[in-house]
Structures are given as C-alpha cells and as structure tokens.
Amino acid sequence: MHKYFFFFLVVLNLYSQNESPFENLSFIKIISDQNNDIYKKELDELKSENEASEIVTIKKEISVASKFRDLKNVILLLNRQIEIEGESSDLLYQLGGTYGILASKKKNFSSIIYLNEMLKSFSKALELEPNHIPTLEAYVDALYSVPKILGGDKKKAMKLAERLYKLSKIDGLLSMAMIYFKNENNEMFNNFINDFFEELSYVSICEIENLKNFFSQKSNNFPIKISQITSFFGKEVDSGLCALNFYINNSNFKNNLYSLEWIYFLKSKLMFLNGNQDESMKLIKLSLDINPDFELSKTFLRKNF
C-alpha cells in the first residue's frame, strides 16, 4: 500500500453532492454491507498464510480493509504496526487521515473523538518530521476547517501553510488558496489560485518523465486535487488529465477510496473541456451506470449533451 494513501481535506459538513474546488471527502463512498462476506473471505485467506511475518500480514490486511472501507479496522491495524515498528511521520499521517475520514462521515459525538485523534496524530507526525509535506498539507486543512472549540487554529494553519510554501511552492499555493477561499477573501483567493495555475503551468506535469517520482513526496490524492481544481476552473486542463490518468493507472488505484462515479465525472469533465466530447460522453455514461442518482453527472449530461 502506498505510504501516502490516506486523505486529508477535513470539513464537518460533507453530506451532499456539492461540486466545490476544495471538497472531496464527500465523494469517499463507504461500501455496503453486501460486500461483508467477500471482505471476510479475503481477510481469512490472508490470516491463513502462516509463513508471512506479522508486519507483512498487517500491511496486507490494511490494504484489504482500505479497499472495503473498514476504517475502524485500519486504525487498529495501523496502531499495531506502530507498536511493532515505532512511530514515524508516515504512519502517523496515515492514522490521522483515517481518523479524519471517519470524522467527516459521522454526525454524532464520535466525530469529535475522531477529530481529536486526527489532530493529535498530525501534530505528532510533525514533531518527528517538521517538513513532512503530506502532513503539512493535511494539518493546514484540518486546523483551518475544524472549529476552534474542537482544536482548530487558523493562525497556526497559516504559519504551517507558509512553511509548506517554502518546501513545495505548488502545495503551498494550493493550501493558501484553500485558506482564503474558506475565509471568503475573494481578492486573496484569486491571487493565490492564479499563482497556483502559473506554477502548475511552469511544472508542466504532462512533460515530466517520471510522474511517480514527482508525486512520491506528496499525498496520494494530490493528483486528485489537481484534477479537481483544473476541472472546476477550466484551466490547465491537460495537467489535470495527466494527473488524473496517473492516479487511475497507479497500482494502488484498486484501493481507491473515492467513489468511482466521481472519478469518472472528473475525467469526463476534463475530456469535455479538452474538446473530446465523444470520450466525455462515454465517461459520463460510465459514471451514471455506476450510480444513476449521481447528481453531478446527471447535471453535466443534461447541460452538455
């Protein structure tokens, strides 16, 4: 499993299909109970492999549990991995991200517990490695999105975003844009989002020979963030397509937590913006085949075809 598999944009009200440039957790789909038998069978098969070491088995179980969205089990397994290997920024980042996803899916008191554990995990990760870019991305989003009474800290989020900018300009610009978007400061938001697109153009993602190397020090859903932003604003569409194709073709895509209907909606929109209407139509139909009630795809189909 990719070491930066888990995800980070933490917003408390993500229960509707709302297209926004800085929202993606609402498109993480929890698999229905009808897959429980398949899930149990895959876990039993793993546990029957007596020759594997405990740590190897744990990593495989995390992969399977992630595929079936058993995030509570992922947390248990990650904690056991930390017991064996010791704390690391990567593992604490994964742990915090998993807590964040659970928090976004709950509407009751347990969401507060998950939020607290998420913030603690991110804080520990940065204590171990202050310049850990995926944790900085995640912690900035979390600190700015979570209410102050629950541990949010907008001033700290801004300082961390400034640190992130010094380490990775493209990540920092996107985090700063997110902050001003949520702060409803349109002037500053426009400044940073325009600077982000300039940096994205300069980076020239489609011309990078080894995209795996480029994305290796970023969160695994950073390509999704790029495709989401480019499709929403209709800018640097080629970069968005290259990023999304990299995400889809990655070996870890089988453990993708996002709903496939949303992934194909993003690609359909990018294809449409790129002038390939035939491929866009195929993808939007594929999205609706998976989920006929997916509002974003229904609206896109109605408006454009």
DSSP per-residue letters across 107-173: -STHHHHHHHHHHHHHHHHHHH-TT-HHHHHHHHHHHHHS-GGGT--HHHHHHHHHHHHHH-HHHHH
Residue 30 binned pLDDT confidence (cut-offs 50, 70, 90): low
Say what the pLDDT of residue 18 is. 60
Confidence check: pLDDT of 64 > 90: no
Confidence check: pLDDT of 10 > 60: no
Say what the pLDDT of residue 9 is. 35
Instruction: Tell me the DSSP string of 57-74.
Output: HHHHHHHHHHHTT-HHHH
The superfamily in CATH containing domain 1-13+33-164 is: Tetratricopeptide repeat domain (1.25.40.10)
DSSP state of 28: B
Higher pLDDT, 48 or 247: 247
Confidence check: pLDDT of 4 > 60: no
CATH of range 204-305; options 1.25.40, 1.20.120, 1.20.1300, 3.30.390: 1.25.40
Say what the pLDDT of residue 47 is. 75
In the chain, list all ranges with CATH 1.25.40.10.
1-13+33-164
Say what the pLDDT of residue 7 is. 35
What is the three-class DSSP state of 16? coil
